[in-house]
Amino acid sequence: MALSMREAAQCPRGHDLTESLNYEAWKWVPAPPAVCHACVALDGAEKKHEKNPHHRAMLHSLHKVPRPKPKRKGG
C-alpha cells in the first residue's frame, strides 16, 4: 500500500508532484547532461553491426581497461 501511495504522488519520471506542481515556489532548471562514456562506446559497437541481419539479437558488452598514459615530449 505504501508503494502505491508513493507512486501516486510521483510523475511518470519519478518527480514528487507536491513540489513539481507548485509553480509559485519552485523553478526547475535542467542541469547540463552528463556523458556516460560507457554508453558512447556501447552505442558505437552497436552501430558497427546495424547492417547485420541479426543485429537486434546481438548482445554487446563492455569491459574496462586502463587508459594508456600520454607519452612525454622530449624525453
Q: Where along the chain do its domains lie?
A: 2-57
The whole-number pLDDT of residue 59 equals: 94
What's the pLDDT at 75?
57
What does the pLDDT read at residue 3? 83
How deeply is 42 buried, as exposed, middle or buried, from its count of CB atoms within 10 A (0-12, 13-18, 19+)? middle
Residues in the chain where the model's pLDDT stays below 70: 75
Looking at the whole model, is its pTM more than 0.75? no
- Provide the grid cell at 23: 509553480
Q: What is the pLDDT of residue 48?
A: 95
- Which grid coordinates belong to 14? 519519478
Quote the pLDDT of residue 44: 95
